[in-house]
């Protein structure tokens, strides 16, 4: 655009401040006068057209600026930021917008990016707050669940359909974990890891872990049965559960951290999922976990419990006594 056309589209830069400082309607003038009177009287609000409005505490001049910026047609969020800087306020100052609720344009020149701490949403945030920054060594129960066949299914289904499947699966896992008092340590794509015993060990950690493991089996069977035949015929699942010593801690860098559990107990629980799949059952649990619940077979009255079977785990030198459980409707 040529220099001669500047006056056709708006005032020149040197005229800009004067244009902004001039009321553009009787309504704006009346609001300004009310704000002046309110400030002189020591009030912090005025009522205009039945609307209660706060008077900015900085000065009446700021109130003038706020009213005029709101009334001036066509002004955007970035221009408001520019005027805020001219008035000596930080660029992050933002006046109320008539289009509040709609996405406003962002200018990286006026509003530098700020780091935000990660927000970890869990069923019980108090559990996570109770875990200290220093590592904690204690006994805990660990439950893993993983879908079988999901990777190959992802090749034929579109990303939107895969997202919906994962969303439903994660919601189901979350419900079972919360109802049992467990903490979801992480979602591993088409799987999840659930901990029992944090931030402090409890006498019923093993019992609640067994209840959660069984609940996951039953709920996952029902969820799979609700899927279209072309999908459910290609999916299965397995669950592994173990009890022992873990080290719980917060790990990560300056921009992100998470709760994690490490140790042989975690590795064994994960490997037990493979054992369950290899034996054609839904759940494989260690004898350590079964012993922690007093080897109470009444916990497995629904379904079939067999074992213990001495089993070697992949990547582990020693063997482990393992119990196997299948629900009455289990076909995995």
User: Considering its fold, how many domains does the chain have in total?
Assistant: 2
What is the pTM (predicted TM-score) of this model? 0.61
Per the domain annotation, does 332 fall within a domain?
Answer: no
Per the domain annotation, does 119 fall within a domain?
Answer: no
Do 206 and 111 form a contact (C-beta atoms < 8 A)?
no
Residues 6+ apart with CB under 8 A from 291: none
Per the domain annotation, does 120 fall within a domain?
Answer: no
Counting Cα atoms < 13 Å in the Cβ hemisphere of 174 gives: 12
Q: Are residues 211 and 269 in the same domain?
A: yes
Q: For the chain, which residues score pLDDT lower than 70?
A: 1-133, 329-332
Q: How far apart are CA 76 and CA 176, in angstroms?
A: 48
Q: Are residues 229 and 95 in the same domain?
A: no
Do 275 and 322 form a contact (C-beta atoms < 8 A)?
yes
- First-last CA distance in the chain: 71
Per the domain annotation, does 2 fall within a domain?
Answer: no
Domain end, chosen from 81, 111, 141, is at 111
| Angle subtended at Cα 50 by Cα 44 and Cα 53, rounded to the nearest 5 degrees | 25
Q: Are residues 146 and 101 in the same domain?
A: no
Of the candidates 165, 160, 315, which has an alpha carbon nearest to the alpha carbon of residue 230?
165
Per the domain annotation, does 99 fall within a domain?
Answer: yes
Q: What is the pLDDT of residue 302?
A: 84
Q: Are residues 203 and 78 in the same domain?
A: no
The greatest distance separating any two alpha carbons of the chain, rounded to the nearest whole angstrom, comes to 91
Phi/psi at 49 (5° precision):
55, 40
Domain coverage including residue 133: 126-326
Interval 54-105: pLDDT, tens: 555 444 444 444 444 444 444 444 554 554 444 444 444 444 444 444 444 4
Interval 103-130: pLDDT, tens: 444 444 444 434 434 433 344 444 555 5
Per the domain annotation, does 41 fall within a domain?
Answer: yes
Q: Are residues 46 and 79 in the same domain?
A: yes
**Percentages of the chain per state (helix, strand, coil), in multiples of 5:** 40, 25, 35
Per the domain annotation, does 300 fall within a domain?
Answer: yes
Q: How far apart are CA 147 and CA 276, in angstroms?
A: 12
Per the domain annotation, does 33 fall within a domain?
Answer: yes
């Amino acid at each position: 655009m040529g220099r001669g056309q500047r006056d056709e589209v708006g005032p020149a830069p040197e005229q800009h401040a004067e244009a902004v400082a001039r009321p553009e309607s009787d309504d704006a003038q009346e609001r300004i006068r009310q704000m002046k009177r309110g400030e002189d009287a020591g009030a912090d609000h005025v009522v205009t057209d039945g609307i209660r409005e706060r008077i900015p505490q900085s000065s009446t001049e700021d109130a003038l600026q706020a009213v005029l910026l709101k009334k001036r047609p066509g002004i955007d969020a970035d221009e408001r930021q520019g005027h805020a800087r001219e008035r000596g306020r930080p660029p992050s100052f933002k006046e109320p917008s008539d289009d509040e609720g709609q996405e406003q344009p962002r200018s990286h020149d006026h509003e530098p990016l700020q780091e935000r701490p990660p927000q970890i949403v869990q069923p019980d945030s108090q559990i996570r707050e109770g875990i200290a920054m220093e590592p904690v060594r204690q006994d805990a129960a660990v439950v893993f669940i993983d879908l079988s066949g999901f990777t190959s299914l992802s090749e034929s289904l579109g990303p939107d359909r895969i997202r919906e499947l994962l969303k439903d699966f994660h919601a189901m896992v979350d419900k079972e974990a919360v109802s049992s008092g467990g903490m979801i340590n992480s979602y591993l794509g088409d799987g999840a890891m659930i901990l029992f015993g944090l931030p402090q060990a409890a006498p019923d950690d093993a019992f609640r872990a067994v209840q959660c493991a069984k609940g996951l089996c039953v709920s996952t069977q029902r969820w799979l049965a609700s899927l279209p035949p072309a999908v459910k015929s290609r999916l299965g699942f397995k669950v592994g559960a173990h009890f022992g010593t873990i080290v719980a801690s917060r790990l990560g860098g300056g921009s992100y951290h998470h709760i994690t559990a490490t140790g042989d107990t975690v590795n064994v629980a994960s490997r037990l999922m493979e054992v369950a799949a290899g034996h054609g059952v839904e759940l494989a649990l260690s004898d350590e976990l079964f012993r922690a619940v007093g080897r109470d077979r009444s916990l497995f009255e629904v379904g079939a419990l067999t074992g213990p079977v001495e089993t070697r785990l992949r990547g582990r030198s020693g063997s482990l006594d393992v119990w196997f459980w299948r629900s009455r409707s289990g076909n995995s």
